[in-house]
Amino acid sequence: MSLLVEDFAQPTRAAAPEPGATVVASPVSQRMSDAYQLAKAQTYAQVIEQLEARGNAVDGAASRPLREEIEIAITSRSRRGQLALNSAERLLLIEDIEDEVSGFGPLAPLLRDPTVDDIIVNGPHRVYVERGGKLTRVETRFQDDVHLMNIIHRIVGQIGRRVDEANPYVDARLADGSRVNIVIPPVAIDGPMVSIRKFRMQTMSIADFVERQSMSADMADFLAAAVRGRLNVLVCGGTGAGKTTLLNMLSSFIDETQRLITIEDAAELQLRQSHVVRLETRPGNVEGSREIGSRELLRNALRMRPDRIILGEVRGVEAVEMLQAMSTGHDGSMATIHGNSPRDAFSRLEMLLGFAGLQNDIRATRRFIASSVHLLVHVQRLTNGSRRIMSVTEVTGIEGDAYSLNELFSFEEQPPMSGLGEFRTSSYRPHFADRLGAYRDERQDQRLW
């Protein structure tokens, strides 16, 4: 059966097809139609045959570039009347086949799209992306489970990992820094699942946060002063709320002369300072290599003479070492934690300390936390997809058995669940005002507060 790909980029039509040719739909959004997929699959098969034949050749001739091999295959099929392409269609088909041969197949255009933040694959025929905080289904699809598994093996192969029935899930980082999680059968009942959190190539500045109304100008000024003034900061929020993005932005106010050590499960932070040591956890593997977690890295980091330690996320027993670092000479350290409110984040910290074996009375535990954490920033993704800082709260100590908190800034959502509202300044005199005033911004030689 011969195939024709009609012009979807220009109003003019391609050459008339031979009798019996199948017509592929025209708009770019229809590139995943059955006819286009069949045309791509047949051309891809011919390219693979050419590459194998050239690889088995005994004349020692230098291999042609992949793109040239694809162009030869397309030209051959066009001369036989199996394809009728204009220049735009030809470039699109070349790009798609190049992605199939050496890239990530149907995922490649989504990975290149700067407007896409997350990519979620629920089996071969259901693909979703997040744009602007909203999750929508796209027409991108794979041919079948085998096609999807081939791309999965290519992903994990490039990072030196593997996924199979004995190890049906993997959490890793792509070459560009994007985080990827893969789950396959028998754990995933409905087929292979892939979740990709794309790496932001350009970090957001504090001006970007204010422009997008993620925080007020007063919030921005205070947070910049808090980081320069070496307050210990804990960023809390739910999954996908933007905790790491905010932490990355806050780190830009750290002085260039300080030695920083970052500890993450998947390296995402993009610190601009020159004196940075980046550490990444390592899971155990089938060969028996020992798992290296955040707690071990934190213990080792304390011996590396850091000025500040930045922990990507505290989620386990490493909470003990993190709090100890914050309270024993590493002022200005920062971390993120899951929590739906400042008090919820502290409750989670108490639970993690219990997991670590600290069975002190509740008052001693809370005194330990209050003496370590100075400032807690709560960020949230609202129903309209926007991400905002909901509160900036100081920890001023302990009153009885309860934390003494001073909310400096907040976002009041009105009406509820609308994503709309306004930022408010709750307290004009921070508890740490005197401490911030003792530091000076070396760039502007001004008091921080």
pLDDT tens across 233-245, in order? 999 999 888 899 9
Tell me the C-alpha distance between 176 and 187, whole Å: 28
Tell me the C-alpha distance between 76 and 78, whole Å: 5
Residue that has been written with the tokens 């291999």 in this structure:
63
Please tell me the predicted confidence (pLDDT) of residue 146.
Answer: 92
pLDDT tens across 56-71, in order? 444 444 456 888 888 8
Domain 204-281+290-437, what architecture? Answer: 3-Layer(aba) Sandwich (3.40)
DSSP 149-161: HHHHHHHHHHTT-
Confidence of residue 33 (pLDDT cuts 50, 70, 90): low
> Which CATH class name applies to 102-199?
alpha beta
The predicted model scores a pTM of 0.75
Sign, CA dihedral 210-215-219-223, equals: negative
Please tell me the predicted confidence (pLDDT) of residue 48.
Answer: 84
Position with higher pLDDT, 44 vs 440? 44
First to last CA, the chain: 75
Torsion of the alpha carbons at 82, 147, 115 and 126, rounded to the nearest 10: 100
pLDDT tens across 250-272, in order? 999 999 999 999 999 877 888 88
In the chain, ranges of CATH 3.40.50.300 domains: 204-281+290-437
Mean pLDDT along residues 201-222: 88
In the chain, ranges of CATH 3.30.450.370 domains: 102-199
Please tell me the predicted confidence (pLDDT) of residue 281.
Answer: 87
β-strands 308-311, 334-338: how paired? Answer: parallel
Position with higher pLDDT, 167 vs 442? 167
Mean pLDDT along residues 172-190: 88
